[in-house]
Amino acid sequence: MSEVGSISGVVQSWNNEQGWGVIESPETPGGCWCHFSHLAMDGYRALEPGTLVEFLFEPGEQDGYHFRVVQAWVPGQRVPPQKARSDTGAYESVTSVQMDEPTGSV
């Protein structure tokens, strides 16, 4: 079952070396460009041609395609993104440091 607002498509092509590919669906005629950074999955983020995926997209020109993926995932295997984007579009990260409790005088 698709998330509200997401659509289903099939991976037409994927280039592991360049980290992008194209997803086909009736809602994105001519294909939808997808970068590996928009894959909501653990581990090495790549897709295999012929794989059914769910995705969110936006109109926009990218490498000759009229649509771009905002987020894509294999049905039932969606993982929340590890990095959130700020309103500026820049990536943000959080680091925490935990210090050991002091054990005595120095």
pLDDT digits over 26-83, tens only?
999 999 999 999 999 888 999 999 999 999 999 999 999 999 999 999 998 888 755 4
pLDDT for residue 106 is more than 50: yes
Which CATH number does the domain 7-73 belong to among 3.30.230.10, 3.40.50.620, 2.40.50.140, 2.130.10.10?
Answer: 2.40.50.140
- Taking residue 102's Cβ as centre, other Cβ atoms within 10 Å add up to 7
The answer to whether the CB of 60 falls within 8 A of the CB of 72 is no
Beta pairing partners, 85: 91
Q: What is the C-alpha to C-alpha distance for residues 73 and 89, in angstroms, rounded to an integer?
A: 21
Look at residue 53 in the predicted model and tell me its pLDDT: 96
